[in-house]
Amino acid sequence: MERFTVVTREDELSLSLGKKIVDRLTLQNKIFDDQNPQIVISVGGDGTMLHALHQRMHQIESVHFVGIHTGTLGFFTDYEEGEVDILLEDVIHRQPITEEVQLLEVKRYNGDKFETLYAINEARVENIIKTMRIEVLIGDEYLETFRGNGLCVSTQIGSTAYNRSLRGAVLLPSIRAMQLTEVAGIHHKLSRSLSTSLVIPENNIIRFESKSYNDSILCYDHLHVRLDGVDAVEFQLCKKAARFARYRPTSFIKRLNNLY
């Protein structure tokens, strides 16, 4: 891959590694191209990679991503901070295997009109001011009426992120599914919902309907939009995928082990 760009977290170490990567790749006649790169190198954490992925959403299917972590190992990143020379050798001399990561498609409905957004980790509706009341449908089937702060729909790769803090299960990489988890659900005699997380295979649509989404927010990865005036939100794993350049296999169990 000849054309590259670099996205760095704004700390001293990440910035200096980012500069080293640009200098070394340019010396090797690789072309720094921020408009139309073939590979995006993220330097920072999983959060930095999320920023890089969203910055390139318009060209997500023609770009590869690789990351170096300046903290621990991470889930989106394959190299640790002391491994910048290995990363450079790999990018200069080796052909990677492409790993595709399915994106979560989220539709905000206002009547028949909708707006589509994409998430890598998760999308969630939340209201910290007022209790939400949400009718949850899986396909055309009614599941439950949820009351509480909100609901989160996570992808497999996002299962170790916000979903894990909500006590959702961690899903291993070959599992193609969404996971629905509650955010502070209310459970008593008059209000009941599943309370555990629910793993839903791909090809299903999850639909949240509410009489009032006022003051609610739809968070998707590090981004958010307001839901005032919206009457339903739908979630589905889609064909669109992000492409990670894997130059060396990194065990998911090792990544998980590094997390806690």
Residue 130 or 224 having the CB closest to ligand NAP:
224
Could you give phi then psi for residue 111, rounded to 5 degrees?
65, -130
Does the protein bind ligand NAP through residue 52 (CB under 6 A)?
no
For the chain, what's the residue count? 260
Catalytic one of 23, 33, 34, 46? 46
Does the protein bind ligand NAP through residue 222 (CB under 6 A)?
yes
Does the protein bind ligand NAP through residue 150 (CB under 6 A)?
no
Q: What's the closest the beta carbon of residue 93 comes to ligand NAP, in angstroms?
A: 27
d(CA 171, CA 123): 16
d(CA 62, CA 39): 9
Does the protein bind ligand NAP through residue 162 (CB under 6 A)?
yes
Q: What share of residues in the chain are helix, strand, coil (percent, to 5)?
A: 25, 45, 35
What is the dihedral sign for C-alpha 74, 199, 55, 250?
A: positive
Tell which positions 92-121 bind ligand NAP, by CB under 6 A.
121
Determine the interface stretch with ligand NAP among 31-39, 108-116, 140-148, 156-164 (rule: CB under 6 A).
156-164
Does the protein bind ligand NAP through residue 18 (CB under 6 A)?
no
Does the protein bind ligand NAP through residue 78 (CB under 6 A)?
no
Helix (H) or strand (E) holding 3: strand 3-8
Determine the interface stretch with ligand NAP among 138-146, 155-163, 183-191, 234-242 (rule: CB under 6 A).
155-163
Is 46 annotated in the active site?
A: yes
Query: Which amino acid makes up residue 48?
Result: T
Helices (H), the chain: 12-27, 46-55, 84-93, 162-165, 252-259
- What residues are labeled active site? 46
Binding site for ligand NAP (CB under 6 A): 45-47, 50, 71, 74-75, 121-122, 157-158, 160-162, 165, 221-222
